[in-house]
Amino acid sequence: MMNETSLPTFPEPGAPVPDFDMPASHGRHVSLSMLRGKPFVLYFYPKANTSGCTKEACGFQEALGELDSEGVTVIGVSRDAMPAIEKFAAAQHLTFPLASDTTGAVTEAYGVWVEKSMYGRSYMGIERATFLIDGQSRLVQAWRKVKVTGHVAAVMKAVHALRGDG
């Protein structure tokens, strides 16, 4: 089991982000190379169909029209297998890609696979985190240990700033 000191250090704003290539909901595929030239939001959530993850995903879905008008794509990532992700996307009417990182390579590269504890038990899991990435695949802003309430609004504020109108 990794401890906090052995976790990879994520890049500072302005640094290139780690590469990724994953299957996604609705028969799609997402990769860093496919997104080059376009800013995007990459958010990590612990588990499909749980209350916090549902609230967060629905928040991004509600903001999708505004994100699209800003030219920003949103992608959710978990370690769930594709059947669970497809069920979650269908149940919540999520139209943006939800990607499956079953190998854990992406969650580890982004430093969001961390030791967590609940009821005195330690375990490894995904830290809820969001990354705003520019069209040159460089980190603009990272939100770690995200609290769902108000989070999408904070991301939107950063998106507007990125586009120069906020």
Q: Please pick, among 17, 41, 53, 75, the residue that the annotation labels catalytic.
A: 53
* Dist. CA 128–CA 116, nearest whole Å: 11
DSSP states along the chain: ---GGGSPPPPPTTSBPPP-EEEETTTEEEEHHHHTTS-EEEEE-S-TTSHHHHHHHHHHHHHHHHHHHTT-EEEEEES--HHHHHHHHHHHT--S-EEE-TT-HHHHHTT-EEEEEETTEEEEEEPPEEEEE-TTSBEEEEE-S--STTHHHHHHHHHHHHTT--
Active site residue 53: yes
Residues known to be catalytic? 53
